[in-house]
Amino acid sequence: MDRLERLTLIGSATLMAAFFGALVYAATQLRISVPTCVTDVAPFTQGKVIDKGNHHYEVHMVAKMWAFDPPEVRLPPGAEVDLYLSSLDVTHGLYIEHTNVNLMAVPGSVNAARFHLDTEGEYSAICHEYCGAGHHFMMGKFIVTSAAAAPAAVEAGAALGQQLFEQKGCPACHSIDGSTAVGPTMKGIFGRTVELEDGSTKVANEQYLEKAIRAPGEEVVKGFPPAMPEPALTGAEVHALVEYLETLK
């Protein structure tokens, strides 16, 4: 073999070995690695944040078409977080910006990462795997704040409705600007006459909208697929959503 060729071979192999050495150093000394197989947590369907005390939190995050549950996680600065991630339906991703948390959410399996967020602020949690027609709406939030309790919570009315509309992933199917997506637009929905699958018509008043949110499979608007899941909402929340929809002229 030619001398220069041999040099290239040895040189490139050495270079790759050096790179690999750096990675092993990062994994063993700096604890930067990739997720491993989680066997002690079964796939879950409910999102929750558990305060384990001593600045330690456990977050169970559920990815679903097309929102995260919980949609918002509030943490104090420097909290140590054990994040477990699963999916209710298809494959999703979760990337928390400005961090090394970059995970796939695969149904039937649980993923995990340990991290801490030291600087106060809002961190987008972006779904980065294509998960269907509403994928581009799927984003959650990690909010790091030293403010003691929950923020000035929006308790009722159209403002709460708007918050729910965004957090529950509604915009993935229902636009508010008149454009048609997976479902009908919510622009000017209040008082509109809608034609149902069976050919009958209804006026979208308060009763109709509440029923449409609670039992979406019963009266499906003509021309749209029966694609809407039944949401987990309290009566007050449904009411707030309807109040918000009334404002969308």
Binding positions for another protein, 94-123, rule CB under 8 A:
95, 97-98, 100-104, 106-112
Neighbour tally for 44: CB within 10 Å: 15
9 touching another protein, by CB under 8 A: yes
Minimum CB distance to another protein smaller for 191 or for 226 = 226
Minimum CB distance to another protein smaller for 76 or for 167 = 167
Please give the distance of CA 93 from its chain centroid, rounded to a whole number: 9
- DSSP summary character for residue 37: -
Rounded-to-integer distance, Cα 197 and Cα 214, Å: 18
32 touching another protein, by CB under 8 A: yes
Contact with another protein (CB under 8 A) among 59, 61, 62, 127: 127
Minimal distance in Å, beta carbon 85 to another protein? Answer: 8
Minimum CB distance to another protein smaller for 16 or for 50 = 16
Contact with another protein (CB under 8 A) among 61, 81, 83, 131: 131
The sign of the CA dihedral 71, 91, 123, 31 is positive
In angstroms, what CA-CA distances link 219 with 159, 194, 215?
A: 27, 10, 8
Minimum CB distance to another protein smaller for 12 or for 205 = 12
Pick out residues in 46-85 that bind another protein (CB under 8 A).
64-66, 85
3-class secondary-structure state, position 244: helix
Pick out residues in 214-233 that bind another protein (CB under 8 A).
225-229
Minimum CB distance to another protein smaller for 199 or for 225 = 225
Part in contact with another protein (CB under 8 A); list of ranges 17-25, 53-61, 75-83, 145-153: 17-25
In angstroms, what CA-CA distances link 160 with 143, 148, 188, 237, 248?
A: 18, 21, 19, 8, 14
Q: Which of 227, 215, 161, 218 has the alpha carbon at shortest distance from 190? A: 161
132 touching another protein, by CB under 8 A: yes
Rounded-to-integer distance, Cα 204 and Cα 246, Å: 10
Minimum CB distance to another protein smaller for 23 or for 203 = 23
Rounded-to-integer distance, Cα 17 and Cα 6, Å: 16
Query: Going residue by residue from 170 to 209, which x/- string records binding to another protein, judged by CB under 8 A?
Result: -------x-x-xx---------------------------
